[in-house]
Amino acid sequence: MNKLQVLESAKRTLQIEADALLGLQTYINNDFETIVNIILNSKGRVVITGIGKSAIIAQKIVATMNSTGTPALYMHAADAIHGDLGMIQKDDVTICISKSGNTPEIKVLVPLLKTSGNVLIGMAGDMKSYLATHSDYVLNTTVETEACPLNLAPTTSTTAQLAMGDALAVCLLQQRNFTSQDFARYHPGGALGKRLYLKVKDLSSNNQKPEVAKDDDIKRVIVEISSKRLGSTAVVDNEHLVGVITDGDLRRMMEKNENFSTLRAVDIMNSQPKTVEASAMAVDALALMKQYNISQLIVVDKNKYAGIIHLHDLIKEGII
């Protein structure tokens, strides 16, 4: 294949899959709403199973559900018929995924799932298949053709399965009134979660707290900025913030004054420093830094100086 053919092949693949996804909209019917309500009202979990590539899709849907408020469990179809059926409890809802709906493992597994008395939802690409005709409810993921030019490798079909799983998870999320705070609770270690729960004070409290008085001399200012290693110091009067001095302010002072031994902090400070509340979200501090093109903000708590948050703090936590 030459360059043009490669590009055309990629575009063709995306177009085939995009068309298939749009076609899934015609399969969203009353059964879909019933399935959402069954899962929503279930006292158990959603156990999702499949074989081959469908098993991989099952794992991803399980992960999406778990992270958006719907307890779910993955069970490989082959392992299920060799002991893993014990995972399923009486109140669980089962979803079995298969493109053909007629693989040997599925034909063995479906009767066993039905025997347990759990609601069985089939996700199938053939509505006349064994899986589709023996399920209590069916999510139709029929596609006309695979993106694979041989029409063999699961491509369009697995994309359809994944999208249908997303549609189900999103509906459940909305029905549960799942919030960004809930999302953060389930993702405390990830960058996405940190953006939703980390506050300014959580980061600034780990830093030193440089501060000088208005009448402190320049030597004291330099020592404070240098020793605390944050590139700036607050100027404080009775715990109240009155200004800020950055290392940039020091450089500009030296350029303008040959003799600065008589200068005091009040003479070179910025009396209108950019601040952020300690209770604000860390991501809001990042927005302010971007807005003003600065690398640190003075943190205040009820109008009192509370510390400094630096761009490096946000980078370290993966918020950027």
Sign of CA dihedral 38, 39, 41, 43: positive
Token pair recorded at residue 40: 């929503």
Neighbours of 76 (CB within 10 A): 16
CA distances from 256 to 127, 235, 252 (A): 82, 21, 6
Kindly give, in sequence order, each residue whose CB lies less than 8 Å from that of residue 123, ignoring residues fewer than 6 positions away. 95, 96, 97, 98, 138, 139, 141, 161, 164, 165
Residue 184 to residue 191: CA distance in whole angstroms: 10
Closest CA to 26 of 177, 185, 180, 143: 143
Rounded to whole angstroms, the Cα distance separating 148 from 92 reads 36
- For the annotated binding site for Zn(2+), the residues are 76
> Which residues make beta-bridge pairs with 246?
232
Compute the distance between CA of residue 32 and CA of residue 140 in angstroms, rounded to an integer.
9
Q: What are the binding residues?
A: 76
DSSP label of 295: S
**Who contacts 39 (Cβ-Cβ below 8 Å, separation ≥6)?**
46, 70, 93, 168, 172
Which residues partner with 49 through β-bridges?
75, 96
DSSP per-residue letters across 123-182: EES-TTSHHHHHSSEEEE---S--SSTTS-SSSHHHHHHHHHHHHHHHHHHHHTT--HHH
